[in-house]
Amino acid sequence: MKKHTVVITENFHPQVIKQQLKPFVKVLHAKSQRDLVKHLSKADALISLVTDKIDKKVLSYGNQLKVVGNFAVGFDNIDISECHKRKIKVVNTPDVLSRSTAELSLALAFAAARRFTEGESLCRKQQFKGWHPQMFIGQELYKKNVVLVGKGRIGVITGKLFKAIGCQVKWITSKETPNQIKSKLKAADIVSVHLPYHQKTHHWLNSQKLKYLSSNAIVINTSRGPIVDETALIHVLKQRKIFAAGLDVYEHEPKIPKKLSSLKNVVLLPHLGSATETARKGMAESVIHGVLKVL
């Protein structure tokens, strides 16, 4: 029987691909856009990364595509409506990266609250001259009011981690009224964003909502960059209208504005939410399983 053909845009986990994908299908590597266009014409499946834009044009080359597997927890890089029109199934990797992303959210909160970036920079520049009682005074997280925006898998686990260190935790869900959102944000010491990205969540944390936050508040984002209005966030950070921010994602990723990277009261990471061996292996197994199940 003829093997199905699966196109992958990146060798995302060589060992798992070798053991769990290649024995069952023919695998083609699309190392460039030209390769992708060429290979899709004979592909039954495509496995893409969150950084791959799988739009109407790309899908038009896959006349026999049956499934697109996204090596990510979301779908915002894929034209879902076009896939529906073409009767192409779409699978992703839920659950397996929830813990790693939740842990990173907590780590960013600690780093922002205790001013890790400033302290580490001082040490790397060999400028540490000894202990001083007023050097890099930060905040303790114990008993802080944490507001988590989104109560999906990652939001729930993040909440459990914050509770474990003694924080008071509340969630903002899609059922909240504007007044309820305002009330929760005003009382928040830490706001951590855990929403999927789509048209309705674009700039959810905008200039108006940022105004509700106190000068001691910390903003954490490990979901998708465009959910936070980056320009508005830069303004409140620069004006010290909030204490700090911890970011793993950016509005125009991978571009990080100089106005943001020049600020001392922000911790910046290069999209490391799922960057653990456990999570990445789990993601590889999950997306491969999903694709093979459809085929």
Catalytic residues: 224, 253, 271
Q: How far apart are the first and last CA of the chain?
A: 13
Tell me the C-alpha to C-alpha distance, in Å, between residue 102 and each of 75, 95, 105, 166, 229.
19, 11, 5, 16, 22
CA separation for the pair 99, 64 (Å, rounded)? 36
Residue 194, classified by CB atoms within 10 Å of its CB into exposed (0-12), middle (13-18) or buried (19+), is buried
* Buried/exposed 42-59: b ≥16 CB within 10 Å, e otherwise: ebbbbbbebebebeeebb
Candidates 285, 240, 284, 289; CA nearest to 49 is 284
* Cβ atoms within 10 Å of 164's Cβ, excluding its own: 9
The two three-digit tokens of residue 7, written as one number: 């196109």
The two structure tokens encoding residue 67: 């499934």
Number of Cβ within 10 Å of residue 224's Cβ equals 23
User: Do residues 151 and 171 make contact, with C-beta atoms less than 8 angstroms apart?
Assistant: yes
Instruction: Tell me the residue ranges of DSSP E strands in the chain.
Output: 5-8, 26-29, 45-49, 67-71, 89-91, 145-149, 168-172, 190-193, 218-221, 244-247, 266-268
Complete edge-to-edge strand list for the sheet that includes strand 67-71 = 26-29, 5-8, 45-49, 67-71, 89-91
